[in-house]
A and B are shown apart, each in its own frame.
Chain A
């Protein structure tokens, strides 16, 4: 099955700096890569996703890049703010019509943005 590794496990940055979280996956057939943000005591929420036919996607201060050859993808947050502090999870999925988006998650990155 799919295996997703996520680094680093903790990341501390100063407000206004950029943050980068990296993930690698094992199944070359995976074709969908979402990122979820989970604030303390809350449910995970999707912040951005990318499909395998795209190399990069941006949404305001957040961007995701995908390298299918190397089987890794990264989350980039620019101009970080204290409210960006949370746990971020990457995930990978081999989307099939018969099984939907069965996600395999990384272990998470605790991002702390210091004022």
Chain B
């Protein structure tokens, strides 16, 4: 199993550009989520999904959209990039609803100039 994969690993955007961060998992996990990690602020939840066709907002959803058309994929879209979105983005998944270990992807380092 590849586990949780993310692409790209690095990305530089100009203010106002849009892009999609890709996340995929091959463990048949129902639960998937996106976090952003900023220095000194831990990991903050952006959006999450409890299954295909179901998504909900996390702690910091503004400026981001998600969709979940399949169990495997959970892309994160930046609609109009801003310097405040410069961060490291992690996708995570877990076996099921409930208290299970979340497996993180390797992360995407995004810089917005």
Contact = CB atoms under 8 A, between A and B. Distances in A.
Contacts of A93: 99
B42 A107 contact: yes
B14 interface: no
Q: What is the predominant secondary structure among interface residues of chain A facing chain B? A: loop
Contacts of A20: none
Q: What is the predominant secondary structure among interface residues of chain B facing chain A? A: loop
Contacts of A31: 99
Given A44-B90, A101-B31, A102-B48, A34 B106 contact: no
Contact of A101 (B99, B106, B107): B99
B58 interface: yes
B99 A44 contact: no
B110 interface: no
Contacts of A34: 101-102
Interface of B: 30-31, 33, 35, 40-45, 48, 50, 56, 58-59, 90, 94, 96-102, 104-107
Interface of A: 1, 6, 9, 31-32, 34, 42-46, 49, 51, 89, 93, 95-108
